[in-house]
Amino acid sequence: MNDDGVYVTTDHLVGLEALARDMRFVQKARSHRQLAGRMQSAMRGRGLVFEELRDYLPGDDIRSIDWRVTARTGKPAVRVYGEEKERPAILVVDQRINMFFGTRRSMKSVTAAEAAALCAWRILGSGDRVGGFVFNDRTIEEIKPHRSRNAVIALADVIAKQNRELRADDRRDVGVVQLDAVLTTVANIARHDHLIVVISDYQGHSALTRDMMLRLSAHNDVVCLLVYDPFLLELPSSGGIVVSGGGPQAELALRTASVRTSIAAFARSRGEELLAWQQELGLPMLPISTAEDTAPQLRRVLEQSAWRQRRR
């Protein structure tokens, strides 16, 4: 990272590889085991992962009979295996103008870029293909999944390019429809057995956003990284802040209790709405703060999510 947390470079994102080696994602609850890069498919056959012993049923392959158990119990028993197969991953990275905000350490756009790079390196290290979609207020760029360092570097390069195009005096409106547009595109591609990581502040989310998330999670593993700046959660009791859309400026008088209450209520209700998706849709909604180093907190929230999955 350079420019005091305002922008990132490709070199910085590539350099995060070493910090991603001990991170873990989690699998859907139906799989009953933690994911470290490979997923267990719903197909059954003579694979590598033993699942269970069960009674022999007409039509079972006799090669799957466990003769020792059969002799011990007096009933034919078969060993059932789950085949392992690759799980391609798609990262969805938000670089819209609403992400160009930060009061500590870095902009949300920088934190999102770092989180995406860390996820990409971890997924590649697990042996899976990785690609993604990087979007801003005007464009959506696709990097097709590949199992190679060049694929991660290409993803990092696109992220860094869009990141460095952000400007405080940009007069464009927030591309609220872009979030739904990119999720719709991903849903048309990732029909089943993908890992999808959405990294955004989810500004402009709508009922369609929720529907797309539900559609994606029906047959894929979906992880939502919610990038936020803690400023709105910890408003000062005095002074003011100046906000601008690149043109006219306005000052919010934080010393006025009603102003602080209104801003805090907005931030709280928005956060609660997004976190409710975790219960409603069964999606991990993992908060990532701009005020802390990205790697340690990403590792922490992933471990907490894995623990919650194991407790179910």
Where along the chain do its domains lie?
Answer: 3-30+91-311, 39-85
φ, ψ (nearest 5 deg) of residue 9: -120, 160
Q: Let me know: does 153 contact 146? Beta carbons within 8 Å.
A: no
CB atoms within 10 A of CB 311: 6
How confident is the prediction along the chain (312 residues), in pLDDT tens digits per residue? 556 799 999 999 999 999 998 887 754 434 333 334 444 444 344 444 566 788 888 777 888 889 998 999 999 998 876 555 568 999 999 999 999 998 889 999 999 999 999 999 999 998 899 999 999 999 999 999 999 999 999 999 999 999 999 998 777 666 778 999 999 999 999 988 899 999 999 988 888 998 999 999 988 999 999 999 987 655 445 554 544 334 444 444 445 565 445 545 555 666 677 667 777 777 888 999 999 999 999 999 988 776 555 555
pLDDT given at position 259: 45
Task: Report the topology of domain 3-30+91-311.
Answer: Rossmann fold (3.40.50)
pTM: 0.74
CB-neighbour burial class of residue 135 (10 A; exposed 0-12, middle 13-18, buried 19+)? buried
| CB-based contact 126:254 (threshold 8 Å) | no
Say whether 301 sits in a helix, a strand or coil: helix
Distance of alpha carbon 146 from alpha carbon 115, whole angstroms: 19
Query: Do the Cβ atoms of 131 and 142 come closer than 8 Å?
Result: yes
Report the distance separating Cα 88 and Cα 96, nearest Å: 25
Tokens of 62: 């006799």
Render the burial of 86-122: b for 16+ CB within 10 Å, e for the rest. Answer: bbbbbbbbbbbbbbbbbeebbbbbbbbbbbbbbbbbb
Distance CA 160, CA 174 (A): 19
CA nearest neighbour of 122 among 47, 25, 28, 206:
25
Q: Which of 233, 219, 227 is nearest to 274 (CA)?
A: 227
Bridge partner residues of 252 (DSSP): 241
